[in-house]
């Protein structure tokens, strides 16, 4: 490897670390703001603004998932929702020049602390296994075993994932259950491990609402609002997910409908367990090292 390639690689990992350090601080500050009666939009915007203040950029809109929701829910531009006595998952991402970190935490206001503990302890057990040569199927088996030991089910159709440059989800997938054909981790891999635990059946489905989108392809568009939105998306967000409320054009909902109709952007429907069940989540980003892993989003 040339000296320039080595320098580039070193810079890449430093930016992953910088993103992780920002994220560890913002995760705790955002979680501390979650209380009954507090606005969802207030917490999301606080976290996103705080990321920018600390020198990063949001890698995706803050996800605030309530009770049976597992992923892809973020407040609307005029959202008046407030927290109740619920199970709340905060999923937050940061990038520095396109190099990412991803983390999540459950704030339990529902009175089900063991469900929150199940995903947290599953993550701790998974981190203990991470090293070069370990198979991701073995990590999934450990996650499943810990969650099963609490009497709950892992969410089997959600996985952890690799983090690329301007890419939120890359290989390898990190399953939340035992699988026979996983991927072998290598030194230098950057992965987000995110166990989900539920008292439901363990499989989420798509809901009808979408507030998060990402660029599918570039295209010429005639409508002014759609054209303005696309210019902001390609320049500011590139291929990373964004929220409707981030768009600076007037009538952003109409602009997105036009872009989606032309397959320029695609949406992320809210993912849910069955109504009446709860989902908890805990996530860290790690760099695989020669003797284990470095947790970039750790707060210890």
Please enumerate, by residue number, every residue annotated as part of a binding site for a divalent metal cation.
91, 102, 161, 194, 283
Q: Is 169 an active-site residue?
A: yes
Q: What are 228's two structure tokens?
A: 């303005």
Q: Which residues pair with 66 in a beta bridge?
A: 88
Q: Which residues pair with 60 in a beta bridge?
A: 93
Backbone φ, ψ for residue 50 (5° rounding): -65, -40
* Catalytic-labelled residue, pool 79, 169, 216, 294: 169
* Catalytic-labelled residue, pool 194, 211, 228, 273: 194
* Catalytic-labelled residue, pool 48, 67, 69, 91: 91
The binding site for substrate consists of 72, 169
CA dihedral for 22, 60, 228, 210, sign (positive or negative) = negative
Q: Is 189 an active-site residue?
A: no
Q: Is 228 an active-site residue?
A: no
* Catalytic-labelled residue, pool 18, 67, 68, 102: 102
Q: Is 161 an active-site residue?
A: yes
* Catalytic-labelled residue, pool 18, 68, 108, 283: 283
The binding site consists of 72, 91, 102, 161, 169, 194, 283
Q: Is 102 an active-site residue?
A: yes
Active site residues: 91, 102, 161, 169, 194, 283
């Amino acid at each position: 490897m040339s000296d320039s390639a080595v320098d580039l690689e070193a810079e890449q990992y430093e930016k992953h670390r910088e993103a992780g350090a920002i994220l560890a601080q913002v995760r705790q500050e955002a979680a501390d703001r979650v209380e009954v009666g507090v606005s969802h939009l207030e917490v999301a915007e606080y976290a996103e603004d705080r990321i920018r203040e600390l020198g990063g950029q949001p890698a995706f809109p803050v996800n605030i998932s309530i009770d049976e929701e597992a992923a892809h829910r973020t407040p609307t531009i005029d959202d008046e929702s407030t927290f109740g006595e619920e199970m709340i998952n905060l999923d937050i991402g940061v990038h520095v020049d396109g190099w990412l970190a991803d983390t999540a935490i459950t704030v339990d206001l529902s009175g089900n602390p063991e469900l929150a503990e199940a995903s947290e302890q599953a993550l701790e057990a998974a981190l203990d296994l991470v090293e070069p040569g370990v198979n991701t199927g073995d990590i999934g088996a450990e996650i499943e075993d810990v969650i099963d030991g609490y009497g709950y089910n892992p969410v089997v159709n959600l996985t952890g994932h690799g983090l690329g440059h301007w890419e939120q989800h890359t290989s390898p997938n990190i399953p939340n259950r035992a699988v026979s054909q996983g991927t072998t981790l290598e030194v230098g891999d950057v992965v987000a491990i995110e166990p989900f635990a539920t008292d439901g059946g363990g499989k989420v489905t798509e809901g009808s609402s979408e507030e998060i989108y990402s660029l599918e392809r570039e295209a010429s568009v005639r409508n002014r609002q759609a054209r303005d939105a696309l210019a902001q998306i390609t320049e500011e967000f590139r291929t990373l997910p964004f929220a409707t409320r981030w768009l600076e054009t007037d009538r952003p909902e109409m602009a997105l409908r036009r872009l989606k109709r032309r397959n320029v952007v695609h949406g992320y429907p809210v993912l849910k367990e069955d109504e009446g069940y709860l989902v908890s989540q805990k996530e860290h980003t790690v760099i695989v090292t020669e003797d284990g892993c470095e947790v970039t989003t750790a707060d210890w």
